[in-house]
Amino acid sequence: MKKRLKPDLYLNTVHELDTAALKTKGIRAMIVDIDNTLVSWDTKEPDEKINELICRLGSEGFKICILSNNSKKRVEEFNRHLNLPAIHKAVKPSKTAFRKAMNIMDSNPENTAVIGDQLFTDVLGGNRLGLYTVLVPPICKKEFIWTRFMRLIERIVLNKVL
Ligand SMILES: [Mg+2]
């Protein structure tokens, strides 16, 4: 059985996404986290590199849906120019929003990847539905106490499953 807290793939940043390899695996849709995955949690808008990445992924035929546990305001502001399908207050790792994202993209667990920085929301949520899960290290060090605490737990768990 697949370990629920083990990502299928680790990358140093989202910019390392190998689209050819993903296509070989049959991936054609991506559920993407914002905070500390695409930009640091306190960065309001995507930077130029992120804009280029999203644009390239789209032109290579990938469908993308933003899935964030953050507020409507945060997600809408970030997504203003990207105009991607986006779900706020997703309550990851709850399955509901992951299913909704796949519905929007007309994709399924076999052809959808999840990209995020947190084991207990992004990876766990994706693994619960059998999606292809990609973990990146969080971009920003300045974090809320609770998130910092969860990082510590994540490191302990990662050391055990790897
Ligand atoms: Mg995040």
Please give the distance, rounded to the nearest whole angstrom, from the Cα atom of residue 63 to the centre of ligand 1.
Answer: 20
Percent of the chain clearing pLDDT 90 (strictly above): 82
Cβ-based neighbours of 155, under 8 Å, separated by 6 or more: none
Render pLDDT for 67-95 as a digit per residue (tens, 0 to 9): 999 999 999 999 999 999 999 999 999 99
C-alpha 38 to ligand 1 mean position (Å):
8
SS3 136: coil
For residue 102, the CA-to-ligand 1 centroid distance in Å is 19
What are the strands of the beta sheet with 29-32, ordered from one edge?
9-10, 132-135, 112-116, 29-32, 63-67, 86-87
Question: Which domains are delineated in the chain?
Answer: 9-161 (3.40.50.1000)
In this prediction, residue 101 carries a pLDDT of 98
What is the 35 CA–ligand 1 centroid distance (Å)?
4
Distance (angstroms) between ligand 1 centre and the Cα of 70 equals 9
Q: Which of 56, 48, 69, 68 is nearest to 22 (CA)?
A: 56
pTM score: 0.88
Q: What are φ and ψ of residue 95, in 5° steps?
A: -70, -25
The pLDDT value recorded for residue 5 is 92
Q: How far is the CA of 40 from the centre of ligand 1 (A)?
A: 9
Contact 70, 34 (CB under 8 A): yes
What is the Cα Rg of the chain in Å?
Answer: 14
Q: What is the pLDDT of residues 21-77, one digit of tens each?
A: 999 999 999 999 999 999 998 899 999 999 999 999 999 999 999 999 999 999 999
DSSP secondary structure, 90-102, as one string: --TT-HHHHHHHH
Instruction: Pick the more confident residue, 125 or 156.
Output: 125
Residue 79 DSSP class: H
